[in-house]
Structure 1
């Protein structure tokens, strides 16, 4: 969902900031005629969703026309800013024939159900990370987008940063030799959160906010960060919520996760006091199918590719390498090159118009999210878990295999 570093501070800042969009941001005089613009509906406009909402206003050939959110004050303020319509129920927004695409930035447990409903309604979708709260959700989402032919963009915006692209191109071009090991780091979660029941705020449709998740009493820390990220009913925590970024860079830089069965050895802590109960303090080692070893630990956001002739480390704010000369490499025409995406939101708009894949596809979103889920299942079962990427199944563990599925509260289903 949102940038997870200093999450409480960031959330407070977002909540306090007014929605002020200067007239120049709309750029109507430079946009294509209305008939050629991509019309957008925004589903979830708080926190990260608010940031995406503001960003899309300056995208070329895009026009936001509608907003859906469980918070009445929030959706009405955003709708007023664009002269559009506000909806309490996202299904009413999806029913509009004049909306081409949606931006889904709800709490994690709503990502896949809404994305599936959008694709079945004929809408392209920009979907914030992480993907599903279960592997089953991931696989169904992929199937629906493939069958409908809708454009999918995953909210792993580091793919639209030049240094991240360059680092992955170095690895794929063989500049560090044969790949030997992978080191992934992502910010840790936390414990705590009030369990004291109280009344929801009058502006919140709590029934809709809960949606497919188990109904639980409202508490002061449940429906906003970090609760939305650290409660297992809605998320698997930062294993996926933050892990999505460095794990996405991992699969962008190599295909080790597709080489064969992967065995996950994992330790971690599941808080037993307070509201927050997703895995924290994890320590994961993965035996990859091609003989590589991957580690995944808490810390800053980074992905390190270690080869026989050097290493490349990539994080949101920079890149490092050994030897340092790698950073001055000029990739030639015979080297590996990714498409250039200077801006993640604009890349989505361009993909909608061209009908060419966005920079992060549904297939890639599923790959990285499955790694997060296997880490979570390995911690929760307390034993090694082996995942076969070809069969897309856990090997030889019936109990763990049941954890690939999550029940959904009626009437919500993955049928969209």
Structure 2
């Protein structure tokens, strides 16, 4: 009989995921929002699905229609609206801040929130530069606040099962991890039409070079170096974080990257990438582009005894040296977006003051892996610690 998910886990010595506790039954959590675009709307939606009693007390965004849109949600009907996020931090009744701004504002906003005594949920990549990563870690570890980095795989049930299997030795020694992500949104995604009279463009730029408003840069900021770092910190960062977590090594010794602008010549970051990062005991490879996305994104852990294939939809394990009809030996599907459990973990840690599932060190490490790959690209294809800048 083909083993099911439970019998396979038991046979390899795995245990069930730790139980999750609720926030205080009689405590209402008050949240402040910095950056009220599409990703923030998803985060608030995930928070609503946890069942935790909370309200959005204040919303900050430099574009008025975004902050006004959040106020239409039942959890935010009494929220105050702000252009400058520092006004939120002066509100002593706010318990935590959710941050989903463009990347170049992440560390600035997070450090200010921590200094104001707020717990923080910070979207990934948590640091826009490697130097900012040092600043963020120091700010978190010198405070008493909880900071959850937005790598939701760390709270996603089947990702946790997969990491347990790998670390138990169930698939044998792993020496290579393949990662990939294709997103064919270039021909279907329509940029938002921006009313510049309702946008504080100077504030949006922050520390970036002064420049006139540009619709493409505002909508697709991830692909411009002053605001984002392309696919390597947007997409690859999620997958390399799972590799770091499973393999317990997060500092690459060498990186290679080929990058091209085959789809969008006006972007600064490459839209097509092939990268390889070498760690002391394993290699990670990544490929992605803005073309056919039938595979979407995922990882493959190649062990001596089995291959574990992992996506956001589930995981599958294929054993070596068994008959074809006996494979896969394990197939587990995902039934809930891990962002819900990740937000729940954040709320739980606010109550317990325990370390969250995605601590700052993990967030900085996966962001830095993407930055290192980009450094390789910008330095002719290769990076080593001797050529770190």
TM-score band by shorter chain is 0.7 to 0.9
Match of 2:103 in 1: 108
| 8 Å Cα contact 1:191/1:271 also seen in 2 | no
Question: Which 10-residue stretch deviates more, 268-277 or 124-133?
Answer: 268-277
Does 1:314 pair with 2:305? Answer: no
Question: Which 10-residue stretch deviates more, 48-57 or 308-317?
Answer: 48-57
Match of 1:39 among 5, 30, 47: 30
Give the whole-Å Cα distance in 2 for the aligned partners of 1:201 and 1:275.
22
Long gaps (5+) in structure 1: 1-29, 193-197, 330-339, 387-394, 402-416
Shift of 1:80: 5.2
Match of 1:256 in 2: 249
Match of 2:267 in 1: 276
CA 1:326–1:175 in 2, change beyond 3 Å: closer, same or farther?
farther
CA 1:46–1:342 in 2, change beyond 3 Å: closer, same or farther?
closer
Match of 1:210 among 205, 211, 232: 205
Match of 2:46 in 1: 55
Give the whole-Å Cα distance in 1 for the aligned partners of 2:197 and 2:239.
38
Give the whole-Å Cα distance in 2 for the aligned partners of 1:70 and 1:178.
49
Query: Which digits, 9 at most, give the CA deviation of each residue in 1:375-411, with x for residues without a partner?
Result: 000001114212xxxxxxxx322xx42xxxxxxxxxx
SS for the counterpart of 2:177 is strand
Residue correspondence of structure 1 range 360-375 to structure 2 within 5 A = 360-375=358-373
| 8 Å Cα contact 1:341/1:347 also seen in 2 | no
Query: Which digits, 9 at most, give the CA deviation of each residue in 1:240-260, with x for residues without a partner?
Result: 1111221121122112334xx
Match of 1:327 among 318, 326, 330: 330
Does 1:170 pair with 2:160? Answer: no
Match of 1:181 among 176, 187, 202: 176
Give the whole-Å Cα distance in 2 for the aligned partners of 1:58 and 1:64.
14
Does 1:126 pair with 2:121? Answer: yes
CA RMSD of aligned residues (A): 2.6
Match of 2:349 in 1: 351
Shift of 1:280: 2.5
Long gaps (5+) in structure 2: 1-22, 188-192, 290-295, 320-326, 333-337
Shift of 1:147: 0.8
Give the whole-Å Cα distance in 1 for the aligned partners of 2:69 and 2:164.
42
TM-score (norm 2): 0.81
Does 1:246 pair with 2:246? Answer: no
Give the whole-Å Cα distance in 2 for the aligned partners of 1:280 and 1:122.
39
Shift of 1:144: 0.6
Match of 1:74 in 2: 66
Match of 2:278 in 1: 287
Would you say how many aligned residue pairs link Structure 1 and Structure 2? Answer: 340
